[in-house]
């Protein structure tokens, strides 16, 4: 008797469970590399999305720095359990897009899921970086930034510099004044040496980093940044390094602390430094557009982005993709984008969110957050400023920095260093081209 | 007298007893090593989607790179300095700690602590202490008129990674030297003293030779340490820079494989590195061990 009841109960329970598959929650894994305040942003976005509907649950997990997250994702893919969504920094783009089959392009994802998706709604300087040459969006831009020049207004005033320098010669002159007024160890400096002095510098002056629209149009690209303009700029830095009017501050962004501490009063780094600057700098600071050489025709052009985008991994179930598509639509919502931008300092990814923030009068109170947007939208992007896509870019940046270091240390001339950076980089591109076929 | 055990019951028993060790060696050495050799003949993308056999191409590309020879030279300098300094400093400390000291136990404990620090943490620590503009010790150095700048000066950067690597390894060497010193019979040393040998002479003619098995063991272990275990420190302190001045062979393996996604080239480097270390160890056992008195 008991046994029969038990059997009945089990059958009932099974039937019930089978009858309600629509309410089963599909879990979506989101691997990311955001720390501190940005980590909270990620968790809040996921929580808001999960609360907004009941079919899907996005689970974010922190996987370490950018390179670590990417490596973890690649290793997971090789082991057959990749996450659904993976945050990859901009220099990993070529590696990701060449991995046909390992990824699901975003435009394809949105089409399959039938989500409304207009690629023209997004800021072209941002999506261009993550799209094919035909304009198909491959990954979903998440946190974007650009290089800006951070200015310690108090120290500039003390050194008798009335206006924020706009051109490189003005920056050099200001740095000399700063040095004379007590900044003996650093007139100006920068973080991310390769990003600032090669990638952004080239786009801002509308000169090529490489052929084939900086690699966007094909992996058979060749590096070109040993032009006379690049050599001239590096030579200026070499000359100024000798007496520390310019002082090199390392490859990554540890050197940013030299701005926060007041040591360097002019410092070029990511616009994403805003949050840290707000927390650490005990002086009046602002951001200004990157300097340019006035004798270069057409300069300044427009800057290119840094930061990261969200890649959708391949080999998942259709209903899971549907959830990812819904999540991306959720992220693109104008009000949500505008709020995200204003609170975190990330660039808005849709035109509507940018316009809304402008209309709200937000930039009058926070001009610092508009600097990178002004740079990105300064002019219609050209072949040289649409973005860049080189294989092995993660290591290539290190290699370029190595050569810049050799030049600044006086071991190589500017020309020798840039020639070596180009030829070593080209060798790396050829290796990549062979595997990316 | 021959030492041997006889197993009458079963021929399988000795193999069963050996199995755990053999399995561990196989799983953690032979299997990954054979995978590395296999990988070094292939060209593969990071995701493992495309893989083709390319024969010796990875090796040819490797030996055509001037940077690789530079990394070899850097490794030679780095390993000599680290092994030499960490062994001699540890021996000095151990011989001092072996005396009857007040609070000797506390002293010994403090000496061992750095070994518990993870390489990356040790690296970050040293990075910040000696960062040219943030470092607590870099400022006084600059105050003394030395233009301390490991971000651009290769020798400064090398000094920094050597210091970090030595600092971590001293603890380990210290522990073994101390144990070695304590196992030397006091009567031998006292006999030397009675015969009129001073402390220095006693050390070099009695203690040092009797300590040679320990020293030899540590030499082998330290060489392996500098060749394989130091990339965490290098990554955290200098990232191989400036201009490759601290890119050792093992750091290059890491950089090319993990950062560059060039698994074939990286595997080829691991194989070369493995051959070098095996050869070095063999040489040590053949020639240096002869001088060791057990």
Considering only the beta carbons, identify the residue of A67, A263, A405 that sits closest to B241: A405
> Is the peptide bond between A87 and the residue preceding it cis, with omega within 30 degrees of 0?
no
Backbone φ/ψ region at B251: left (φ over 0), alpha (ψ -120 to 50), beta = alpha
Position A223 pLDDT exceeds 90: yes
The answer to whether the beta carbons of residues A304 and A199 sit under 8 Å apart is yes
Q: A211 vs A97, A221, A381, A425, B121, CA distance in Å? A: 19, 5, 16, 13, 42
Q: Which residues of A touch B142 (CB under 8 A)?
A: 185
Structure confidence by residue, pLDDT tens digits, A141-155:
988 889 999 999 999
Res. A190 pLDDT band, cuts 50 70 90: very high
Per DSSP, which regions of A315-373 are E strands? none
Nearest Cβ partner for A394 among B151, B154, B259: B259
Nearest to A204 by CA among A339, A86, A30, A378: A378
Would you state the pLDDT for residue B4?
66
- At residue B14, the pLDDT reads 85
Under a CB-based contact definition with an 8 Å cutoff, are residues A287 and A269 in contact? no
Element (H, E) at A87: strand A85-89
Q: What is the mean pLDDT of residues A54-63?
A: 92
Give residue-wise pLDDT tens across range A250-300.
888 878 888 998 999 999 998 888 878 888 889 999 999 999 999 998 889
Nearest Cβ partner of B244 from A247, A257, A402? Answer: A402
Of A19-33, A273-287, A305-319, B240-254, minimum mean pLDDT range: A19-33
Nearest CA in chain B to A252: B239
* Chain B residues lying within 8 Å of A392, measured CB to CB: 260-262
Percent of chain A with pLDDT over 90: 49
The pLDDT of residue A60 is: 94
Q: What is the pLDDT of residue A18?
A: 46
Cβ contact, residue pair B239, A98, below 8 Å: no
Residue B124 has pLDDT above 90, yes or no: no
Q: Which residues of B touch A102 (CB under 8 A)?
A: 47, 49
Share of chain A above pLDDT 70, in %: 95
Mean pLDDT of chain A: 88
Q: pLDDT tens, B82-93? A: 999 999 999 998
Which residues of chain B neighbour A437 with C-beta distances below 8 Å? 50
Mean pLDDT for B254-272 is 85
Mean pLDDT, to the nearest integer, of A8-21?
46
In what helix (H) or strand (E) does residue A211 lie, and over which residues does it extend?
helix A211-214
Using CB atoms, which residue from A252, A395, A409 is nearest to B255?
A395
Cβ contact, residue pair B44, A435, below 8 Å: yes
Minimal CA separation from B225 to chain A, in Å: 24
The structure's pTM equals 0.82
Whether the Cβ atoms of residue B58 and residue B68 lie closer than 8 Å to each other:
no
- The phi, psi pair for A216, rounded to 5°, reads -65, -30
Taking the C-alpha atoms of residue A213 and residue B68, their distance in angstroms, rounded to an integer, is: 32
Structure tokens at B85: 């300094």
In this complex, how many residue pairs, one in chain A and one in chain B, have their CB atoms less than 8 Å apart? 96
Question: Residue B45 and residue A99: Cβ atoms within 8 Å?
Answer: yes
Which residue in A95, A431, A432, A434 has the most chain B C-beta atoms within 10 A of its own C-beta, making it the best mutation to test that interface? A431
Does pLDDT of B125 surpass 90?
no
Give the 3-state DSSP-derived string for A250-294, with helices as H, strands as E and coil as C.
Answer: CCCCHHHHHHHCCCCCEEEEEHHHHHHHHHHCCCCEEEECCCECC
Q: Which residues of B touch A263 (CB under 8 A)?
A: 133
User: B56 to chain A nearest CA, in Å?
Assistant: 15
Instruction: Report the pLDDT value the prediction gives residue B3, as an integer from 0 to 100.
Output: 60
Cα torsion B162, B163, B165, B169 to 10°: value is: 130
Nearest to B152 among A185, A261, A409 (CB): A409
Instruction: Please say whether the beta carbons of A226 and A418 come within 8 A.
Output: yes
Gap from A10 CA to chain B (nearest CA, Å)? 45
- What is the percent of chain B where pLDDT is above 90? 23
Query: Which pLDDT score is estimated for A322?
Result: 92
Helix (H) or strand (E) holding A147: strand A147-152
Q: What's the gap between Cα A383 and its chain centre? A: 19
User: For residues B23 and B12, what is the distance between their CA atoms, to the nearest angstrom?
Assistant: 16
Q: What is the pLDDT at residue A285?
A: 94
Q: Which residue has the higher pLDDT, A3 or B59?
A: B59
Q: What is the distance between the alpha carbons of residues A425 and A391, in angstroms, rounded to a whole number?
A: 10
What percent of chain B lies above the pLDDT cut of 70? 96
Cα distance from B178 to chain A (closest Cα, Å)? 40
B260: confidence class by pLDDT, cuts 50, 70, 90: confident
8 Å CB contact of A263 and B240: no
Do the Cβ atoms of B49 and A405 come within 8 Å?
no
User: Shortest CB distance from A431 goes to which of B134, B255, B262?
Assistant: B262
- pLDDT at residue B83, rounded to an integer: 93
Q: Which of A107-121, A122-136, A157-171, A228-242 has the lowest mean pLDDT?
A: A122-136
- Chain B nearest CA to A351, separation (Å): 34
pLDDT bin (cut points 50, 70, 90) of residue A2 is very low
């Amino acid at each position: 008797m008991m046994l029969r009841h038990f059997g009945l109960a089990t059958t009932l329970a099974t039937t019930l469970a089978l009858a309600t598959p629509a309410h089963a929650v599909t879990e979506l894994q989101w691997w990311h590399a955001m720390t501190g305040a940005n980590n909270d942003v990620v968790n809040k976005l996921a929580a808001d999305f999960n609360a907004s509907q009941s079919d899907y649950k996005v689970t974010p997990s922190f996987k370490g720095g950018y390179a670590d997250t990417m490596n973890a994702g690649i290793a997971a893919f090789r082991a057959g359990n990749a996450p659904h969504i993976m945050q990859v920094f901009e220099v990993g783009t070529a590696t990701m897009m060449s991995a046909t089959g390992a990824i699901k392009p975003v435009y394809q994802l949105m089409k399959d899921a039938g989500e409304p998706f207009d690629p023209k709604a997004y800021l072209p300087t941002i999506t261009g970086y993550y799209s094919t040459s035909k304009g198909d969006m491959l990954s979903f831009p998440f946190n974007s930034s650009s290089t800006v020049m951070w200015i310690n207004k108090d120290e500039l005033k003390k050194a008798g510099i009335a206006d924020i320098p706009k051109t490189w010669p003005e920056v050099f002159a200001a740095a000399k004044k700063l040095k004379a007024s007590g900044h003996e160890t650093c007139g100006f400096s920068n973080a991310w040496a390769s990003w600032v002095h090669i990638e952004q510098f080239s786009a801002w002056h509308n000169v090529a980093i490489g052929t084939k629209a900086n690699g966007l149009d094909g992996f058979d690209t060749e590096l070109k940044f040993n032009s006379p303009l690049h050599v001239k700029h590096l030579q200026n830095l070499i000359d100024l390094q000798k007496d520390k009017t310019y002082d090199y501050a390392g490859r990554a962004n540890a050197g940013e602390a030299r701005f926060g501490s007041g040591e360097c009063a002019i410092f070029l780094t990511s616009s994403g430094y805003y949050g840290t600057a707000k927390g650490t700098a005990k002086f009046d600071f602002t951001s200004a557009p990157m300097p340019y050489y006035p004798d270069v025709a057409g300069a300044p052009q427009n800057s290119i982005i840094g930061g990261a985008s969200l890649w959708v991994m391949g080999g998942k179930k259709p209903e899971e993709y549907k959830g990812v598509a819904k999540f991306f639509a959720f992220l693109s919502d104008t009000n949500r984008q505008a709020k995200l931008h204003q609170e975190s300092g990330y660039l808005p990814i849709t035109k509507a969110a940018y316009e809304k923030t402008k209309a709200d009068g937000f930039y009058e109170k926070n001009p610092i957050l508009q600097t990178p947007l002004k740079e990105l939208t300064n002019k219609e992007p050209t072949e040289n400023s649409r973005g860049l896509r080189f294989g092995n870019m993660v290591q290539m940046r290190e290699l370029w920095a190595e050569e810049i270091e050799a030049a600044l240390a006086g071991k190589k001339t500017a020309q020798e260093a840039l020639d070596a950076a180009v030829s070593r980089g080209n060798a790396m591109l050829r290796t990549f081209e062979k595997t990316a076929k | 007298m021959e030492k041997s055990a006889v197993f009458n019951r079963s021929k399988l028993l000795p193999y069963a007893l050996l199995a755990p060790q053999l399995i561990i060696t196989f799983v953690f050495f032979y299997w990954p090593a054979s995978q590395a050799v296999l990988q070094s003949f292939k060209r593969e993308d990071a995701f493992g989607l495309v893989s083709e056999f390319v024969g010796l191409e990875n090796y040819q590309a490797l030996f055509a790179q001037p940077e690789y020879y530079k990394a070899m030279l850097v490794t030679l300098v780095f390993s000599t300095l680290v092994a030499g300094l960490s062994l001699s400093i540890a021996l000095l400390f151990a011989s001092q700690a072996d005396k009857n000291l007040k609070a000797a136990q506390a002293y010994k404990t403090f000496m061992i602590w750095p070994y518990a620090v993870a390489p990356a943490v040790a690296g970050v620590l040293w990075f910040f202490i000696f960062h040219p503009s943030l470092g607590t010790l870099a400022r006084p150095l600059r105050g003394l008129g030395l233009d301390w700048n490991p971000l651009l000066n290769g020798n400064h950067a090398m000094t920094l990674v050597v210091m970090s690597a030595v600092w971590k390894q001293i603890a380990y060497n210290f522990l073994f030297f101390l144990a070695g010193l304590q196992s030397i019979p006091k009567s031998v040393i006292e006999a030397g003293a009675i015969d009129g040998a001073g402390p220095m002479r006693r050390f070099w003619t009695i203690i040092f030779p009797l300590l040679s098995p320990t020293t030899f063991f540590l030499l082998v272990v330290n060489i392996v340490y500098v060749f394989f275990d130091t990339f965490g420190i290098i990554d955290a302190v200098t990232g191989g820079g400036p201009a490759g001045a601290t890119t050792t062979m093992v750091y290059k393996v890491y950089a090319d494989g993990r950062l560059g996604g060039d698994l074939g080239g990286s595997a080829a480097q691991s194989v070369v590195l493995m051959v070098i270390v095996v050869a070095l160890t063999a040489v040590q056992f053949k020639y240096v061990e002869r001088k060791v008195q057990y």
